[in-house]
């Protein structure tokens, strides 16, 4: 009896562990639907609602911030420190289409033209992005911070799969006389019939930085898709 019962006990324990792990993943509402968003890396944490106003400076007015992640070591000084973030991530939804059902065919059509579309948007709106960023920074009374964005360089598609697409971008960001190159993994996700955008940023040091963002973006997308399986 004991030998027969052991697999059943182990199965129940595994199910309990999986349920506990799922419960630990924070959930955010997009278009009235709860979306589970795990952190993009083990050393990154969600900043909390009280800190969302700080991270919203990086979010265009056309989108709404769902979640924001920084390195654990950067969280305590997020409000007071002037040190730039070497790694952070944002999850957003489009304001105009937040409550619109996004079907698999809609996502495929968008993903098929995503690389060209992102390039066109970035090339046409970089100045507007810079002005919007500085306006939001000024609204937070950070008077000595003024950002200048150089023209981004697209790094092509990182991956494309069912309900997830990602491409990469490199951009130089200058503030207070210091220029930093940033790598971004841009993700489009279809989660519970909602369109969600996610962005993973990391300082560029060498080619390994690009490889990290590429792999971390795909791992993050897989984790988000798994957390929202229906």
Q: What distance in Å separates the CA atoms of residue 133 and residue 94, rounded to the nearest whole number?
A: 18
pLDDT for the residue numbered 115? 64
Q: How many CB atoms lie within 10 A of CB 124?
A: 9
Residue 124 or residue 217, greater confidence? 217
For the CA atoms of the chain, what is the radius of gyration? 19
For the stretch 74-100, pLDDT in tens is 999 887 656 678 999 999 999 998 999
Instruction: Please work out, in degrees rounded to the nearest 5, the angle formed at the alpha carbon of residue 65 by the alpha carbons of 64 and 66.
Output: 115
Per-residue pLDDT tens digits for 133-171: 888 888 877 656 678 888 888 898 999 999 999 999 999
Rounded to an integer, the average pLDDT of 47-71 is 94
Name the phi and psi angles at 87, rounded to 5.
-155, 130
User: What is the phi/psi pair of residue 201, to 5°?
Assistant: -115, 140
pLDDT at 82: 61
The structural domains of the chain, with segments of one domain joined by +, span 25-227
114 and 165 Cβ atoms separated by less than 8 Å: yes
Give the whole-angstrom CA distance, residue 171 versus residue 159.
Answer: 20
| 81 DSSP assignment | -
**Per DSSP, which regions of the chain are E strands?**
27-30, 33-36, 44-46, 63-71, 87-94, 147-149, 153-161, 164-175, 178-191, 194-203
Above 50 in pLDDT, residue 104?
yes
Stated pTM of the model: 0.85
Q: What is the pLDDT of residue 77?
A: 84
């Amino acid at each position: 009896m004991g030998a027969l019962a052991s697999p059943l006990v182990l199965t129940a324990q595994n199910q309990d562990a999986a349920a506990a792990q799922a419960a630990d993943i924070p959930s955010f509402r997009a278009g009235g639907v709860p979306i589970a968003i795990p952190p993009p890396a083990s050393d990154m944490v969600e900043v909390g609602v009280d800190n969302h106003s700080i991270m919203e400076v990086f979010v265009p007015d056309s989108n709404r911030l769902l979640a924001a992640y920084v390195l654990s070591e950067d969280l305590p000084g997020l409000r007071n420190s002037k040190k730039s973030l070497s790694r952070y991530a944002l999850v957003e939804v489009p304001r105009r289409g937040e409550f619109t059902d996004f079907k698999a065919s809609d996502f495929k059509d968008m993903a098929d033209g995503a690389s060209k579309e992102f390039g066109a948007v970035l090339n046409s709106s970089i100045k507007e992005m810079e002005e919007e960023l500085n306006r939001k920074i000024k609204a937070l009374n950070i008077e000595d911070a003024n950002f200048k964005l150089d023209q981004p360089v697209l790094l092509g598609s990182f991956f494309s799969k069912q309900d997830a697409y990602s491409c990469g971008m490199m951009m130089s960001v200058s503030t207070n006389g210091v220029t930093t190159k940033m790598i971004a993994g841009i993700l489009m996700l279809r989660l519970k019939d909602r369109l969600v955008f996610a962005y993973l940023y990391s300082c560029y040091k060498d080619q390994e930085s690009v490889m990290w963002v590429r792999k971390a973006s795909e791992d993050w997308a897989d984790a988000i898709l798994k957390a929202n399986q229906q």
